[in-house]
Amino acid sequence: MDELIRSAAAQFETLLREQLQRQERMEKGAFTRDFKGADRIVIGVIGGDGIGPVIVREAKRALEKLLGDELASGRVVLKEIEGLTLENRMACGQSVPDAVLAEIKSCDVLLKGPTTTPKGGTMESANVTLRRELDLYANVRPVTVPEEGIDWIFFRENTEGEYALGSRGIELPGRLSMDFKVTTDAGTRRIARAAFDYARLNGKTKVAIVTKANIMKKTDGMFSRIAHEVAAEYPEITAEDWYVDIMAANLVNPAVRGGLQVFLTPNLYGDILTDEAAQLQGGVGTAGSANIGGACAMFEAIHGSAPRKIANGEGDYANPASILKAAEMLLRHIAMPDRADRLAQAMRLCTETEKRVVVTGHRDGATCRAFGDYLLEKL
């Protein structure tokens, strides 16, 4: 047992040194890409697993329609990236195979379908790997339900928390297992600044800082403290502390939720809360997600690859709304708000006004392809 403890302590020392080095890199700052006036923009398109290729195909068709002139001139390139499938990742023994990662790093932005993460074992989530490798520190997820007075945007820290080291915990067989959570000063400051900058630029007056600092006193306590230090630079914005369990309850409380605007959360809590919030909007199939860093950004659906839907033979009936919302966010990110507005308007016509082709996710509704055809008509 002493030998196991010494081995675990050595592993923990390695993790500490790695995270301190990462903190030092973040302190030096990073390049920030500005797409206004860019001569060439490469958009990587990744199908992923399960229903991923089905829904991504329709988003790609919409982008081809909206960016026709830029694609013809070569200013925008849609680059298909193969190999980010569970089968290839398992065969290579890597969450993102080296050759695939090299292709991804040659792109400016990514439109990515969901990928499956194996249960158990040591293989990390492909998303966690990509967020770390591309330093996509801000996970941004909007949720709107106008008739309920809901207009929310979540800023979830994307490279730290439980997920950063979730595949590198310590296990003493037959005795105990321990996973690790990490919060850094630099990582917290940059996600907090992203949330408060957004609030200022968009006329928002409240930011909810969501933690469990009464229990996770070191990590969440540090997150809350630094968030308030950043908040002091934005005197016109009210920063409110919320515990994650109470926030989860109040997202479904009509008396409170209408007053919520911008959310600032660590990694795990943001993952859970945004799925709950998306359910209020109509389900996780309706919500898009942006993963933003200084030099690159990745846009995706917030849901998974739906293996049960594939097993049931209903993959072709998957709802593409979430990845289409992600495509809209991508267009705004690359400084093409007019194209994003066209896509948003067409989606409103298809899903709220006319509703001539309705996707239910099952055989009683339209296929993903049929909805894509309908959307192209409206574009």
Query: What secondary structure does DSSP assign to 45-88, as a single string?
Result: EE--STTHHHHHHHHHHHHHHHTHHHHHHTSEEEEEE---SHHH
Give the chain's radius of gyration (CA, Å).
Answer: 21
Can you tell me the distance from the alpha carbon of 39 to that of 73, in angstroms, rounded to the nearest whole number? 10
Looking at domain 31-136+293-379, its CATH class is alpha beta
The H or E element spanning position 141 is strand 138-145
286: Cα within 13 Å, side-chain hemisphere: 20
Q: Which residues pair with 143 in a beta bridge?
A: 152
Can you tell me the distance from the alpha carbon of 197 to that of 277, in angstroms, rounded to the nearest whole number? 22
Question: What are the CA-CA distances from residue 29 to residues 95, 128, 202, 360 (Å)?
Answer: 27, 21, 25, 45
pTM of the model as a whole? 0.84
* pLDDT score for 272: 96
Q: Which residues pair with 258 in a beta bridge?
A: none
Residue position matching structure tokens 């694609």: 71
* pLDDT score for 30: 65
Q: Which residues pair with 80 in a beta bridge?
A: 45
The H or E element spanning position 240 is strand 238-243
Can you tell me the distance from the alpha carbon of 42 to that of 75, in angstroms, rounded to the nearest whole number? 8
| pLDDT averaged per 10 residues in sequence order, the chain, 379 residues | 85 91 84 84 97 98 98 97 96 96 97 91 87 92 91 94 84 86 95 95 96 97 98 98 98 95 97 94 83 92 91 96 95 94 96 94 96 97
* pLDDT score for 34: 82
Dihedral class, residue 40 (left if φ above 0, else alpha if ψ from -120 to 50, else beta):
beta
- The two three-digit tokens of residue 290, written as one number: 């942006």
* pLDDT score for 246: 98
* pLDDT score for 121: 77
Contact 375, 62 (CB under 8 A): yes
Which residues are within 8 A (CB) of 269 and not within 5 positions of it... i.e. 6 or more apart? 156, 210, 211, 212, 244
- The two three-digit tokens of residue 44, written as one number: 């990587």
